[in-house]
Amino acid sequence: MKDKNEPNISAQIGEADTWLDKGKTLIRQNKLAALSALIILLIILAAVFAPVVAPYDHLQQSLTDRLKDPSAAHLLGTDELGRDVLSRIIFGARISLTIGLVPTLISMAIGTILGLFAGFYGGKTDFAIMRLADVMLAFPSLLLAMVVMYTMGGGLINIFIALSLVNWASTARIVRAQTLSLKEKEFVEAAKSVGVKKHVIMFRHILPNCLPSLIVLFTLNIPSAILSEASLSFLGIGAQPPSASWGLMAVRGKKYLFSEPWLSIAPSVAIMIVVLAFNFLGDGLRDVLDPYLKEQ
Amino acid sequence: MKKSLSLALAATMALSLAVTGCGGSNGNANSPDTNTTPADNGGQQTGGNPENGGGIAGTVPDDTTGFFLSVKNADIQTADVQKTTKDYEIPMNIFDRLVDIEVDSQGTSRIVPSLAEDWEISSDGLEYTFHLRQDVKFQNGNDFTAEDVLYTFKRLLTVEGGVNTELLDQVKGAAEVINGSAEELEGVEQLDDYTVKITLTEPFAAFLSCLTAPGLSIFDSEATEAAGDQFGMDPSVTIGTGPFSFAGWSFNDQLVLVRNENYWKGAPALPGVIIKIIPDTETQTMMFENGELDIIDLDFVTDATDRFLETYPDQIVSGPRVGITYLTMNFNIEPFQDLNVRKAVQMAIDRQAILDALYGGRGQVEQGIYPFGLIGYNDSQTKISYDPEGAKALLAEAGYGDGFTMELAADSSSSDTVTMVLEIVKEQLAAVGIEANIKNYDESTWLETRKSGELGSFVSTWTADFNDPENFIYTFFGNEEKTRIRSINYPDTEVMARVGAARGIVNEDERLAEYRALEEKLVHEDAAWIPMYSRTHLWAVSPRVQDFKPVWSGVSDLVYYSVSLSE
Amino acid sequence: MNEQLLQANSNAHEANTELVLDIRNLKSHFFTAKGVVPAVDGVSIQVPPGKIIGIVGESGCGKSMTAMSVMGLLRYPGKIVGGSIILSGKEITHIRPKELAKIRGNEISMIFQEPMTSLNPVYPIGHQVREAILLHQKISKEEAKNRVIDIFRAVGIPEPQKRYYSFPHQLSGGLRQRVMIGMAMVCRPKVMIADEPTTALDVTIEAQILRLMKKLCEEQGTSIILITHNMGVVAEICDYVYVMYAGKVMEQAETFTLFEKNSHPYTQGLLKSIPKLDEKTDRLYTIDGVVPNLLHLPEGCSFCTRCSQAQKRCFSEKPYLYETGQNHGVRCFQYESGVHLDGK
Amino acid sequence: MFSKVLKRIAISIPVLIGVVLAIFIMLRIVPGDPATTMMGEHVNPAVIEKISREMGLDQPMYVQFFKYVANALKGDFGTSYRLNRNVTQIILDSFPHTVKLSLLAALVAWIIGLSAGIIAAIRQNGLLDRLFMGCALMGVSMPVFMTALILQYVFAFKLKWFPVSGFDSFRAMILPAIVLGWNSAGSIARMTRSNLVEVMQNDFIRTARAKGLRENGVIVGHALKNAMLPVLTMMALQISSMLSGAVLTESVFGVPGIGRLAVNAIETRDMPLLQGTVIFTTILIILGNLIADLLYNVLDPRIREGI
């Protein structure tokens, strides 16, 4: 993190930091964030290549091998239907990561567009969009997601909708705030003065400048989506079996906490690792990328 | 100036929050044992009879030592048993019914007197005359008379939000009362203060059994009328004749029962019962093991049962759950019209394996419609064998050698164990080439689709409301409508006509023989239904619990009258 | 005076107790992702008592870094990597934070460029100045308050009693800078560093502030290091001037000498770029080019890329600071005949 | 100032109306007939129709909405389908438990969050930073029900320091408060840290150092108050996440609070109760935002003067 007390060294040496430089700074300054990035990458790879990586078919039941303790054959033991827990966690990464990514992408896309419009056009547009955002923000997020799931029933698609609906408002607020300040910047004024079209200014000139904040926000929203899904699973309105998210595995495994603790601990630890990794990466990225996002 | 103004505003708001908080907490959080329902003065008017010497409805004593500590995983919705089809625990303990059921150690059950000490049945099976006990008082001191029976039965049919009207379907004039064309219930007459005559529209052999149903608990006409819609909600106005009075209910927290010292059968041994509401089953487990509970229903912690059996071998109480788990096939969905397909599915499922895997083998594989423990249960009928090869052959014969796809409909509100059953069934069907896809419905859609007769195959359990095969076979195969709303759509109207007619067979042996024949026809000839298994219901009790006995049907609702605690 | 300085320069490793502040061959580097930036690269500055020393140069030349290094305010990724700072005969370059805290604000204090942001917005100004007293002197809060009001009066804050309770945002920039000066002077330090104290202020106020500083300096015997890029300011109040460029001192001389006999091409450029009323020119003079990237300094003289008089060797060899006359040093090969003052 | 407060309150009103409308519409597009789903298996269609009429479900939606709002303004959120009791009354019965739980949890969150955040900021990017932030973040990084279960298992079941469940004594409240508070501590810690780091870059911090304050004095005396102002605003957001977290925490520990009500309402498909619970908690959040805003106004001299 740069110290404002010192003159901006980058400015002094006359070069803006490139993305590569920022990456290097991240690795040099914040080993933890770099490590987190590596872990996330590995988990994504494991999810993508799950059929290759997983030692067993995650759906293969074996009623005679139920609830086996961890062993060389089954590193994390087997579950209540005799399925290999490690394989299920590897395959579960697909669902959990999807649940982390898809609603976050959707909600941030909505939030970004609305935030841009609100900030850029101001006036009534701004008022309408921001009051709508206020309404969304006034709901306790889990409760809102519960209501949506209540209305539409369980299932992955509905989880996406529920979580997207919950999260767009905060993105909209941040993008709006940045748009407001970027709008006054010289380069935007310049673009305006030479008659560049409004949507071009919004999407070509302002949006790229919001990108660092959005990237940070993105990394911080993913874990909260994963956790929200776990909460919904606890209430029985999250992912539905046989598709197994980590949250659902933890919920179903917790009944065996006293006798076969790995059934709930393993997926919980998986969640914890991913959540912490995204958090640390997000914090690290913010330090490197983003002067705006001090709140959050 | 400005600063102080804004400070004051903020403070006022914070304060108003705090005051709301505190105001409420005086009422219930500081003294968790008091009931929080708006008791007002209702308690004094109807329930507050201090001469009763304890067991005053709506009043929780300060001293609750010696109370039995029980637990439920969800709070009840009402104690008004005419408005619920599942919250039977409180009604079973605070009310009595005209007759009761008693099961001896051999498992044979019989109807025994309760509020009715004697009765006669006319030879045509249409008229029942009940002679009521004359020494019974309600918990508020009112006498129990025939008038209360009349009131209760009429209320069952007319009360707003009543859900047990079916129980009196056969009573003459019931339909007219329901649709509003008659004021009085013609079929229930008061012959004198302690004699009631009930007339049916057609003979109904199971009627006496039906009267043991919790839904037909008898209320105090005076107190119930006065209570209005608070009956069942406000403990102080929820009055019965039962061994305990309803002392307190703080929602989502606990229910309290207190001994009725004047109970006509003699006061119960327990001074009272506290039923904690704990939704999380792991929390329940830890509470039990920490000594914070006297009982835990292992049905809610199925997965911990093995460990409990090992750890507390001497503290396990069990009883058969008189209920059958079944898998349906919808005759309206391809290819279940084909008898061979249905038989193949029957044979493709390894029921014993499921019972072993998920319930530790505690229970038994069922072969018919009437489960173990029910009158009419037949342990010598044809067996369905697990035979995947045979199933494949039958499928091939039916022209489905390459299998087919079908739906397994899951209700998202059902327990994890049921979901696991579906997952196993899916695998077992896959082994004979049938691709079963689990489709998740939310509860209301599931119910609605099932009612419309369009739901795919599903697994569910039917537990006895009263001890008679009628309660089972008629529910699923009673007539076209009954089989449609279960999404079975059994097409043979002749067979269903027989099911309806069997209800009127007065001779008990003949009736049971007909029921057995129908069971054989439906399950084994027509393969219209796949019986899975019935289970043993287990509870673990604390070492101080004596004489705990589950109710005959093995449901989770407990009756505390016979229980005592050693100290 | 002249002799003193010369002596100090030539005997760099001997402590000179006559000097209030003696900075010797100071090197402060920044360790960035792209490499090490030598922001201060072997700077030596001598501050005698009661004098005003000016440091001039374009932005980014290392003058502020020098001040920060002296105050021990340099923070990561900046670090002092060599040289020494001697305050009243005491080495303070690497002393412990506790010792440093005792000196700061007490023996040596600093005024910053941004009066608008240099005061804490959530505390009344009086408290902020009082804190400086209470930190270093064992007197009662009441006494301290009176001292604050006195100093407020001394720095020309109207209604000091009332202003004591004002918050920074209620004051104009000029007043805030007066508060800052008051805070810096309240413990009567030996040296006060003023880092572009008037840059953010109106020209009219600038003159008042400068006069105030000079007056206080004379009254209390405090030495001032005035950092500025404004040659006019230098001419007005400084006794001695250091010209810095790319982390090095390019020329040092008494103010009068510098303006008369400016020797280094860079200094000449700086002085030429001051607009003069009596000359008619079409456009202002500017030094060609920009301040070089400190990461990629030329191999030879760091000014060579912009120097109109640069010769071949200027691009390959680094010049020393050569003595050209009394108390006058220049870092340019044109004056190679003089004695090296770099202490190498 | 006063007009500003009024304006702030005025802005909350459309939000409130929006909230009610949103919930109302959302719950009206539930598939299936609410009357059927609430009555269950044993009842005949005539009865269902009657109930449906009684609940006013046969009227056009806008009529239902205006009736609802009119009643809600009088403090009447309707009658619970299942409990046949006034929703307002049910909520007010449960509310004190949730308030107590939330306040205690807030205390825990602030203790953990602030101390971790401050230490992390002081030792920025050092080992202690990672350690304390990691600890604070642990509470958010596990599913709440697992955190609850594990703490319960260790401290109530194994060590027997606390009862496993219940909410009737202070001792019983500690574990739920820790679970819920820990869950929020992460974001407080993170915000405290980044605010402090941010504030530490301000010019006035340099001034404070230059006047001779030692680093701890700089942080405590000058940075903290500035850094805390935005964190204070986050209190409002905390209310929201606390109430969300309370849903699970209350279920695990058997606390009879509002979160449980919401779960009950969903499980039993009790529309009026769910509607009432959500609207009530939302009002709390809006009110919390308002209070935080006003407090911010009071504490920050710049805003106080209307600059």
State which residues form the domain around C283. Answer: 259-335
Residues D160 and D289 in one domain: yes
Domain membership of residue D66 (yes or no) is yes
Domain boundary among C188, C219, C236: C188
pLDDT band at A13 (very low <50, low <70, confident <90, very high): very low
- Under 8 Å between Cβ of D178 and D151: yes
Is A11 a member of any domain?
no
Q: Residue D248: its chain A contacts at CB < 8 A?
A: 142, 231, 234-235
Same domain, D52 and D101: no
* D233 token code pair: 């605003």
Using an 8 Å CB-CB cutoff, list chain B residues near D153.
286
Of A131, A257, A279, the CB nearest to D149: A257
Do both D103 and D237 map to the same domain? Answer: yes
**Angle at CA A145, nearest 5°, toward A142 and A150?**
125
Say yes or no for a CB contact (<8 Å) between D229 and C167.
Answer: no
Asked whether residue A1 is assigned to any structural domain, the reply reads: no
Distance from C-alpha of B303 to C-alpha of B357, rounded to nearest angstrom = 10
In D, minimum Cα distance to C118 occurs at: D204
Indicate whether D61 belongs to any domain: yes
pLDDT digits 0-9 by tens, D166-177: 777 888 889 999
Domain count across chain C: 2
Q: Are B423 and A61 in contact (CB under 8 A)?
A: yes
B6 to D1: CB separation less than 8 angstroms, yes or no: yes
Alpha-carbon distance D116 to D137, whole Å? 10
Please check whether residue A234 touches B, CB under 8 A. Answer: no
Q: Do A255 and B412 touch (CB under 8 A)?
A: no
Size of interface A-C (CB pairs under 8 A): 45
pLDDT tens, per residue, chain D with 307 residues: 677 778 878 878 888 888 888 888 877 776 556 666 555 555 556 666 666 666 666 777 788 888 888 888 888 888 887 777 788 988 998 888 988 898 899 889 888 888 888 888 887 777 888 888 888 888 888 888 889 988 988 998 888 888 888 777 888 889 999 999 988 888 888 888 888 888 888 888 888 888 888 888 888 888 888 888 777 777 666 777 787 788 889 988 888 999 888 888 887 777 888 888 888 888 888 888 788 777 777 777 666 554 3
Report the alpha-carbon distance of residue D166 to residue B459 in Å, rounded: 35
Q: What is the pLDDT of residues C120-174, one digit of tens each?
A: 888 889 988 898 888 888 889 899 999 899 888 888 888 889 989 988 888 888 8
Contact between residue C226 and residue C53 where contact means Cβ atoms under 8 Å apart: yes
Would the CB atoms of D256 and B287 count as touching at under 8 Å?
no
- The confidence score (pLDDT) of residue A44 equals 93
Query: End of a domain among D36, D60, D87?
Result: D87
- Tell me: do D134 and D51 sit in the same domain: no
Is the domain of D140 the same as that of D78? no
Residue D269 falls inside a structural domain: no
pLDDT for residue D178: 92
Would you place residue A152 in the very low, low, confident or very high pLDDT band (cuts 50, 70, 90)?
confident
Assess if residue C307 is contained within a domain: yes
Which of D21, D142, D146, D240 best probes binding to A when mutated, by most A CB atoms within 10 angstroms?
Answer: D146
Digitized pLDDT (tens) for each residue of chain B, 567 residues in all: 444 444 444 444 444 444 333 333 333 333 333 343 433 333 333 333 434 445 677 788 888 889 999 999 888 888 999 988 788 999 999 999 999 988 776 667 789 999 999 999 998 889 999 999 999 999 999 999 999 999 999 999 988 778 788 889 889 999 898 888 888 899 999 999 999 999 999 888 889 999 999 999 999 999 999 998 889 989 999 999 999 999 999 888 999 999 999 999 999 999 999 999 998 888 999 999 999 999 999 988 877 888 899 999 999 998 888 999 999 999 999 899 999 999 999 999 999 999 998 888 999 999 999 998 888 898 888 899 999 999 999 999 999 988 899 999 988 777 778 888 999 999 999 999 999 998 888 777 788 888 889 999 999 999 888 889 999 999 999 999 889 989 999 999 999 999 999 988 988 899 999 999 999 999 999 999 999 999 999 999 999 998 898 888 888 889 999 999 987
Q: What is the distance in angstroms between the Cα of C307 and the nearest Cα belonging to chain D?
A: 36
Tell me which chains share at least 3 CB pairs under 8 Å with chain D.
A, B, C
Closest of B460, B504, B497 to residue B478, by C-alpha: B497
Count of H-run helices and E-run strands, chain B = 18, 20
| Chain B residues touching residue D99 (CB < 8 angstroms) | 17-18, 20-21, 25
d(CA B424, CA A62) in angstroms, rounded, equals: 9
- DSSP string of chain D? -HHHHHHHHHHHHHHHHHHHHHHHHHHHT-SS-HHHHHH-SS--HHHHHHHHHHTTTTS-HHHHHHHHHHHHHTT---B-TTT-SBHHHHHHHHHHHHHHHHHHHHHHHHHHHHHHHHHHHHTTTSHHHHHHHHHHHHHHHS-HHHHHHHHIIIIIIIS-SS-SS-SSSHHHHHHHHHHHHHHHHHHHHHHHHHHHHHHTTSHHHHHHHHTT--HHHIIIIIIHHHHHHHHHHHHHHHHHHHHHHHHHHHHHHT--SHHHHHHHHHHTT-HHHHHHHHHHHHHHHHHHHHHHHHHHHHH-HHHHTT-
| Mean pLDDT, range A1-5, rounded to an integer | 37
Sequence-separated contacts (24+) of B143-147 with Cβ below 8 Å: B144/B115, B144/B218, B144/B220, B144/B241, B145/B193, B145/B194, B146/B190, B146/B191, B146/B192, B146/B193, B146/B194, B146/B195, B146/B196, B147/B190, B147/B193, B147/B221
Residue D49: list chain B partners with CB under 8 A: none
Three-state SS string across B159-203, please? CCCCCCHHHHCCECCHHHHHHCCCCCCCCEEEEECCEEEEEECCC
Question: Among the three residues C188, C215, C236, which one is the final residue of a domain in this structure?
Answer: C188
Residues of C in Cβ contact (< 8 Å) with D301: 121-122, 167, 169
Query: C88 falls in which pLDDT band (50, 70, 90)?
Result: confident
Among A1, A143, A271, beta carbon nearest to D143: A271
Going by the DSSP 8-state scheme, the letter that residue A186 receives in this structure is H
Chain B neighbors (3+ CB pairs < 8 Å):
A, D
Residue C343 has pLDDT above 60, yes or no: no
Assigned domain for A224 exists: yes
Last residue of a domain, one of C188, C207, C233: C188
- Can you tell me whether residue C275 is helix, strand or coil? coil
Out of D36, D65, D87, pick the residue that ends a domain. D87
Q: Answer yes or no: do B413 and D46 touch at CB < 8 A.
A: no
C and B: touch, per 3+ CB pairs < 8 A? no
Return d(Cα C54, Cα A94) in angstroms, integer: 66
Contact A139 D274 (CB under 8 A): no
Instruction: Give me the domain span that covers residue A256.
Output: 36-60+73-295
Neighbours of chain A (3+ CB pairs under 8 A): B, C, D
The ipTM of this complex is 0.75
Give the SS3 label for residue B60. coil
Residue D271 placed within a domain: no
**Residue A44's CATH number:** 1.10.3720.10
Chain C residue numbers touching D210 (CB-CB < 8 A) = 71, 73, 104-105, 109-110, 112, 184
Residue-range domains of chain B with CATH: 3-22+324-536 (3.10.105.10), 54-95+225-299+538-565 (3.40.190.10), 99-218 (3.90.76.10)
Q: Which domain holds residue D45?
A: 2-87
* Residue where a domain stops, chosen among D70, D87, D104: D87
Q: Are residues D237 and D253 in the same domain?
A: yes
A22 occurs within a structural domain: no
pLDDT for B2 equals 45
Do D104 and D80 fall into the same domain? Answer: no
Query: How much is the pLDDT for D47?
Result: 61
Contact A17 C33 (CB under 8 A): yes
Any domain includes D264: no
The verdict on residue A16 lying in a domain is no
- Give the Cα separation of B296 and B285 in Å (integer): 7
Of A61 and B487, which is predicted with more confidence? Answer: B487
Reported as a single tens digit per residue, the pLDDT across C192-241 is 999 888 877 778 888 888 888 888 888 888 899 999 888 888 888 899 99
Contacts of D89 in chain B (CB under 8 A): 38
Q: Number of structural domains, chain A?
A: 1
CA distances (Å), origin D255, targets A210, B251, D165, D260: 43, 10, 8, 8
Based on the domain organization, do D109 and D201 belong to the same domain? yes
3-state secondary structure of B446: helix
Looking at per-residue pLDDT, the higher value among A66 and B351 belongs to: B351
Question: CA-CA distances (angstroms) from residue D30 to A145, D64, D65, D276?
Answer: 14, 15, 16, 16
Shared domain check, D105 and D193 = yes
The number of distinct structural domains making up chain D is 2
Based on the fold, state whether residues D111 and D196 are members of the same structural domain. Answer: yes
Q: Among D203, D211, D222, select the one facing C117 at the smallest CB separation.
A: D203
CATH number, domain with residue D134: 1.10.3720.10
d(CA D100, CA D114): 21
D243 domain residue, yes or no = yes
Q: How far apart are the first and last CA of chain B?
A: 67
Q: At what angle do helices D144-151 and A246-253 cross, to 10 degrees?
A: 30
Interchain proximity B440–A259, CB inside 8 Å = no
Nearest to A278, CA basis, from A210, A195, A216: A216
Residue B489 in tokens: 């759509």
**Percentage above 70 pLDDT, chain C:** 91
- Tokens linked to B201: 């529209």
Residue C215 resides in a domain: no
Q: How confident is the model at residue C281 (pLDDT cuts 50, 70, 90)?
A: low
- D175 in the same domain as D293: yes
A21 interaction partners in chain C (CB closer than 8 Å): 33-34
For the CA atoms of chain C, what is the radius of gyration? 21
Specify the pLDDT at position D1. 60
Residues of D in contact with B85 (CB under 8 A): 40-42
Is residue B30 helix, strand or coil? coil
- DSSP secondary structure string for all residues of B341-392: HHHHHHHH--HHHHHHHHHTT-EEE--SSSPTTSTT--TTS------HHHHH
Task: Tell me: do D81 and D228 sit in the same domain.
Answer: no
Interface subset of A 220-259, CB within 8 angstroms of D: 223, 227, 230-231, 234-235, 237, 247, 250-251, 254, 257
